[in-house]
Chain A
Amino acid sequence: MAKEKRSYWSTTLRLLGVILAIWAGVSLGLSIIAAPLLNHIKMGGYPLGFWFAQQGSIYVFIILIFVYARLMGRIDRKFDVHEESEKKPNRSRR
């Protein structure tokens, strides 16, 4: 049991690590550090670095959260720690 738990947690941490790396890579990396380089590339009328900073990073954040929620749900089920009510959200108590 304790071993199961440890392996659930380390799987979780790996997922968090990957997502946080993308999160930092896009917002701090592409949008700030690499922006002067990326600005040489144009996407429509947008310099690419500027686009990442003012538009792209926000879209990436949204995708990251939903991907995380989905993968995490899968990990929960794999290790059998998911919530009973997850399939049909409990709306009876209002």
Chain B
Amino acid sequence: MSLQVATFIAVGLSFLLYLGIAFWSRAKSTSDFYVAGASVGPVVNGMATAADWMSAASFISMAGMISNMGYGGSVFLMGWTGGFVLLAMLLAPYLRKFGKFTVSQFIRDRFYSRTASAVAVLCLLCASITYIIGQMTGVGVAFSRFLGVSNDVGIYIGMAIVFAYAVFGGMKGITYTQVAQYCVMTFAYVIPAIFIAFYLTGNPIPQLGLGSNLRGENIALLARLDQVVTDLGFKEYTTALPGSVLNMLLFTLTLMIGTAGLPHVIMRFFTVPNVAAARRSAGWTLVFIAVLYTTAPAVGAMAKYNLHRTVTPGIEQNLDVFDPEASLVGEERPDWMRRWEKTGLLNWEDKNNDGRIQYYNDASSDQQFLASAEEAGWKGNELSVNADIIVLANPEIALLPFWVIALVAAGGIAAALSTAAGLLMAISSAISHDLIKGIFAPKISEKRELLTGKISMAVSILVAGWLGLNPPGFAAGTVALAFGIAASSLFPPLMMGVFSVKMNKEGVIAGMLAGLSVTLFYVFAHKGIFFVQGTQYTHLIGGPNSFFGITPEAIGAVGALANFVVAFIVKRFTKNPPEHIQALVESVRSPRGAKTVEGAH
């Protein structure tokens, strides 16, 4: 059986599974459609939330980013998991007790203001839409790499599948398909990792293998990897920092707070039956995410070691890296390298025409290393490696059977589809429930609202698909922005809504605007106004990363701080919220009485 046939079978079977589940779990009421009838148990909800959370980027790119960044890659690991602690303690149980369908509905009622809610809907749509562009392109990439169809055809297939279960099933259909998708993607991620860990260290558990000695040698894998990468002019793997320590702290915090503020994640906690379940469910979510996230660093480090010893075999024979015999003869490179060269993800260019591959850091800060490299006749790094290769080609690098590679294909597609569906749910409920029912047509009947929900879902899929087919020029920089926006504008008002009885609408609106402006100002300075190239204004703020050496990805935490500070200052000078609002906050704090979730105003 050829690889292509195996892949088609694996992906085809997974699609049949999703469609079967979709048919079984059609949405019959608005409650089914928005919150899956608020009857999903904490474990199942945890699994679905994990699938929702782990996107194509988590599945395909994260291990590669960790592989490139080494220790610095920990910002993603801690940032994208630590946020769930904030969510579990500060938001999920209280918003569940509040018992409405959407995030902006909480803002509107708690801050008795349509303006506040409109600002929140705006921030929410910004965050979700920037995020979904990345997911739709991810769907296209996953399909084209694995199935050999073009990017565009991949996006059309993805749209059709999501359409089938999201439009008819709503949150209910999405939740149960996500459970299936979680199983597919985790299985596909962990199996190759187990093989590769066993192969390199003799320990089949990747989390333990990463801390073990290399098979048959008396040196730890990580210690050896540190040696190899420093010999080749890269930063030491286990200590490499992204910028300064302060920047790493803020980057981690931004991702954590952003995670807790992303609407499509918060919404998941409206689907559980009660407050206690909301608390536990966040824990289960993290358990299921951790299965993949604690495996990722092992995959990253092991694939990196594998790659280096493939390209520079001399390191295993204890040759000096500058020894001409140490680097791989280009013509003898393995088949998987040739295969991935065709996709452009891997590229070898023999700059010094010696027929061998020199893979090293030609931008090293170590002058002595660069001098030795020049002396050895090296004319620059000859191998460019896209970060995605680390996961995509991992099974091939470890010489695993075809069915494992086919499984990775099904897993990558599952990851992209599940996140896209969750985001579409957040977008369509913001439109049908918050805008249409909340502002334009409050008297709409439940049946018509269900229909409206389905139509806005269908329209959202078309728009998302269109954006995926014609990604705006700024698509690449947007995921970082989504976290920045969520951290600086969405998390603080939600938290203050619960934890400060006296917080009023003036404070919260001023805070949201302040947080958002700080973040956008700094991001636009680096990436251009609305990401239009050529409009960067770093010179006005004193050069790139001028604010204490903070990179634009890490500014969200500063924005969140600005949000809190401004909100409390404005609150001091404006009048207290009305009595009934203060009573509302009191009731949200007490778990008793959380029964049903409903959308009535």
Tell me the A residues contacting B by CB distance below 8 Å: 5, 8-9, 12, 16, 19-20, 23, 27-28, 31-33, 35-36, 39, 42-47, 50-51, 53-55, 57-59, 61-62, 64-66, 68-69, 72-73, 76, 81-86, 89-91, 93-94
Contact at B249–A33, with CB atoms within 8 Å?
A: yes
* Contact A68 to B274, CB < 8 A, known contacts A43-B211, A50-B238: no
What are 17 inter-chain pairs, A to B, with CB distance below 8 A?
A19-B89, A31-B78, A32-B74, A36-B239, A44-B208, A45-B210, A54-B77, A55-B297, A57-B74, A58-B286, A59-B290, A59-B294, A62-B283, A65-B286, A83-B592, A85-B274, A86-B276
Contact at B222–A50, with CB atoms within 8 Å?
A: yes
* Contact A72 to B279, CB < 8 A, known contacts A28-B252, A55-B297, A84-B592: yes
Known pairs A20-B85, A44-B220; list 12 more (Cβ under 8 Å): A8-B590, A45-B211, A45-B213, A45-B220, A50-B74, A55-B294, A61-B85, A68-B279, A83-B276, A83-B593, A93-B37, A94-B39
Category for how many chain B residues contact A: 35 or more
Contact at B207–A55, with CB atoms within 8 Å?
A: yes
Contact at B245–A61, with CB atoms within 8 Å?
A: no
Q: Which of B210, B248, B280, B293 contacts A46 (CB 8 A)?
A: B210
Q: Would you list the 8 A-B pairs with minimal beta carbon distance, nearest first?
A: A45-B220, A53-B74, A65-B283, A44-B211, A69-B279, A46-B211, A54-B297, A50-B238
Assembled-state Cα–Cα distance A24/B182 (Å): 29
Give every chain A residue within 8 A of B290 (Cβ-Cβ): 58-59, 62
Assembled-state Cα–Cα distance A9/B498 (Å): 11
In the assembled complex, how far is the CB of residue A55 from the closest CB belonging to chain B, in whole angstroms?
A: 6
8 Å CB interface, B264-297 against A: 273-277, 279-280, 282-283, 286-287, 290, 293-294, 297
Contact at B221–A65, with CB atoms within 8 Å?
A: no
Assembled-state Cα–Cα distance A23/B210 (Å): 24
Contact at B273–A45, with CB atoms within 8 Å?
A: no
Tell me the B residues contacting A by CB distance below 8 Å: 37, 39, 41, 66, 71, 73-74, 77-78, 81-82, 84-85, 88-90, 93, 207-208, 210-213, 220-223, 238-239, 245, 248-249, 252-253, 256, 273-277, 279-280, 282-283, 286-287, 290, 293-294, 297, 586, 589-594
In the assembled complex, how far is the CB of residue B95 from the closest CB belonging to chain A, in whole angstroms?
A: 15
Give every chain A residue within 8 A of B275 (Cβ-Cβ): 83
Assembled-state Cα–Cα distance A51/B155 (Å): 39
Give every chain A residue within 8 A of B210 (Cβ-Cβ): 45-46, 55
Contact at A94–B37, with CB atoms within 8 Å?
A: yes
Contact at A83–B594, with CB atoms within 8 Å?
A: yes
Assembled-state Cα–Cα distance A91/B223 (Å): 52
Give every chain B residue within 8 A of A47 (Cβ-Cβ): 222, 238
Give every chain B residue within 8 A of A36 (Cβ-Cβ): 239
Identity of the chain A residue whose Cβ is nearest the Cβ of B283 in the assembled complex: A65
Identity of the chain A residue whose Cβ is nearest the Cβ of B594 in the assembled complex: A83
Identity of the chain A residue whose Cβ is nearest the Cβ of B222 in the assembled complex: A45
Contact at A69–B88, with CB atoms within 8 Å?
A: yes
Contact at B592–A89, with CB atoms within 8 Å?
A: no
Contact at B590–A81, with CB atoms within 8 Å?
A: yes
Give every chain B residue within 8 A of A93 (Cβ-Cβ): 37, 39
Give every chain B residue within 8 A of A5 (Cβ-Cβ): 586, 589-590
Give every chain A residue within 8 A of B273 (Cβ-Cβ): 85, 89-91
Interface centre among A19, A46, A54, A57 (most CB of B within 10 A): A54
Give every chain B residue within 8 A of A46 (Cβ-Cβ): 210-211, 220, 222
In the assembled complex, how far is the CB of residue A20 from the closest CB belonging to chain B, in whole angstroms?
A: 7
Contact at B90–A65, with CB atoms within 8 Å?
A: no
* Contact A82 to B592, CB < 8 A, known contacts A44-B211, A55-B294, A61-B85: yes
Assembled-state Cα–Cα distance A36/B41 (Å): 42
Q: Which of A16, A32, A62, A76 contacts B89 (CB 8 A)?
A: A16
Assembled-state Cα–Cα distance A83/B595 (Å): 9
Contact at B245–A33, with CB atoms within 8 Å?
A: yes
Assembled-state Cα–Cα distance A42/B223 (Å): 11
Contact at B238–A20, with CB atoms within 8 Å?
A: no
Contact at B78–A45, with CB atoms within 8 Å?
A: no
Contact at B591–A82, with CB atoms within 8 Å?
A: yes
Give every chain B residue within 8 A of A19 (Cβ-Cβ): 85, 89
In the assembled complex, how far is the CB of residue B214 from the closest CB belonging to chain A, in whole angstroms?
A: 9
Give every chain A residue within 8 A of B274 (Cβ-Cβ): 83, 85-86, 89-90
Give every chain A residue within 8 A of B78 (Cβ-Cβ): 27, 31, 53, 57-58
Assembled-state Cα–Cα distance A58/B66 (Å): 15
Contact at A39–B239, with CB atoms within 8 Å?
A: yes
* Contact A32 to B84, CB < 8 A, known contacts A55-B207, A55-B297, A85-B273: no
Give every chain A residue within 8 A of B90 (Cβ-Cβ): 16
